[in-house]
Amino acid sequence: MNDWIAIQPQDDVIIALRDYAKGECITLPDGVSFTLLDDVPKGHKIAVHTLAPGDDVMKYGFSIGIAQEQIEQGSWIHSHNLKTGLHGLLEYEYQPGAQVQTDMPPEHLLSFDGYLRPNGEAGIRNEIWIVNTVGCINKVCEALARMGQSQFGSRVDGVFHFPHPFGCSQLGDDLKYTQQLLASLVEHPNAGGVLVIGLGCENNQVDEFRECIAPEYRGKVRFLKAQETDDELEEGLRLMEELVEIVEHEQRQPLPLSKLKIGLKCGGSDGLSGITANPLVGAVADMLVAAGGTAILTEVPEMFGAETILMNRAANEQVFHDLVDLVNGFKQYFVNHGQNIYENPSPGNKAGGITTLEEKSLGCTQKGGRSSVVDVLRYGKRVTQTGLNIVEAPGNDLVSVTALSAAGAHIVLFTTGRGTPFGGPVPTVKIATQSDLANRKKHWIDFNAGQLLEGQTMDEVKVQLFSQLIDIASGRSHTLSEQHGFREIAIFKDGVIL
């Protein structure tokens, strides 16, 4: 294993794979040697030649920012000498690239064992979900979920409630988009049955919310107004039992990968995210798309600086324009709130070695692999086309994973260089960028992409991860967040920006 890695031949930097001390010597493959002028933490960038003030600094074969001062060979490159090159709103031109042929999964991984729902959709879990229309009854729903799990948990794959604080005094689009997000969760095929509970006096009225749910899904839903029943817990259990009796006889059966949808997300990224975990997830997404399945990418602000890579992969000009509107709409959202469009990365990202937003975005977008972008979805909407879709949502981890789930993702592949324990409403697979994290946080991390720095090839590791994905989809294994009972949602405020 090398102590550093070069990504592209034209790059101005190499990436440290261990902590380096000032004075150590590095020899490049072409025989050029130099001495480090600074201490350089693991995951951070080292200049391989001298850069002048104003020069673009190249990583991944693209500019990740502008040198603020002369950067000598062997220097540590980070926030003190590198700044973003992004500014203002941009105009884009459709310049479609050639479609790339991606690998099919191995033959033994071309199907999964799932639940075939009456409308032809697939579920990978046969759960009962409790969705409340208003935050005032979170604790009632929490109590019902505990009681339901105790009483019915052996007959289904679990009873779950996803608390949120909204629905009371919301108006207009704010209410509309909360309803859209919650309705899409109600329609999710991992939920064989759903109990919708309202209080009775909230703006998000049960009868109004019922109309947000497509008619074809209402048969799996029961509705309860807490203020209109003498004992909401007793009535809730009765309605849950009705649902359990409907779904408990569902059996897994072999289903084609065309029915499987995965969400793609990163959080707590570090300098290795764009080198190990994100390219790995992109390779897995490409395999699924090649087999007729669906991958869903989000966190739009973390496309800024790399958005043209995705735009040039738009399946047609309409998708290109939809993607332009999505990106510029999110930029305008920041402007409307008086915020710097390019004020990113986060403190944790910077500590891990990411300096600028374009550096973060160039790593982040690799989760989308190389497939064509077939559709762009508004926040809270569900996927209708197989292939690579992009859904509107911010970088916030919980908000984005919730949006991916609402869009129809059965599983979310979540890459991280810093680690996180949380899980969304669907199985959330935490993928470490490096072995140190995977070994230290074994109770958080489901898969170690750090193998890619330790002699394993991408072809080997992507099949490992794809195999684990199929096992999770088939119910043969469960993510650590599922095992710990970590299931949460978060709703994006300020509505949709397209």
Q: Is 57 helix (H, G, I), strand (E, B) or coil?
A: strand
Q: How far is CA 210 from CA 47, 145, 218, 239, 275, in A?
A: 59, 21, 8, 16, 45
171-203, pLDDT tens digit by residue?
998 899 999 999 999 999 999 999 999 999 999
H or E segment to which residue 235 belongs: helix 232-247
Check residue 88 and give its pLDDT. 74
What distance in Å separates the CA atoms of residue 42 and residue 393, rounded to the nearest whole number?
31
Q: Is 22 helix (H, G, I), strand (E, B) or coil?
A: coil
Q: What are the residue ranges of helices labelled H in 261-378? A: 277-290, 307-311, 317-336, 347-351, 357-364
DSSP at 95: -
Check residue 352 and give its pLDDT. 87
Check residue 335 and give its pLDDT. 77
84-141, pLDDT tens digit by residue?
988 877 789 998 887 888 889 999 999 999 999 999 999 999 999 999 999 999 999 9
Answer whether residue 493 shows pLDDT above 90. no
DSSP symbols for 423-485: --SS-EEEEESSHHHHHHTTTT-SEEGGGGGTT--HHHHHHHHHHHHHHHHTTSS--HHHHHT
405-428, pLDDT tens digit by residue?
999 999 999 999 999 999 999 999
Whole-model pTM?
0.94
Check residue 495 and give its pLDDT. 52
Radius of gyration of the chain (CA): 24
76-89, pLDDT tens digit by residue?
999 999 999 888 77
What distance in Å separates the CA atoms of residue 193 and residue 338, rounded to the nearest whole number?
43
For the chain, percent of residues with pLDDT exceeding 90: 86
Which of these, 37, 30, 41, lies nearest to 51 by C-alpha position? Answer: 37
444-473, pLDDT tens digit by residue?
999 999 999 999 999 999 999 999 999 999
What distance in Å separates the CA atoms of residue 42 and residue 387, rounded to the nearest whole number?
36
Which of these, 175, 107, 190, 182, lies nearest to 380 by C-alpha position? Answer: 182
H or E segment to which residue 208 belongs: helix 206-210
Here the tokens at position 31 are 């025989």
State the number of CA atoms in the 13 A half-sphere of 235 facing the CB.
15
Give the chain's count of helices (H) and strands (E).
13, 23
Q: Are 347 and 407 in contact (CB under 8 A)?
A: no
Which of these, 163, 177, 169, lies nearest to 135 by C-alpha position? Answer: 163
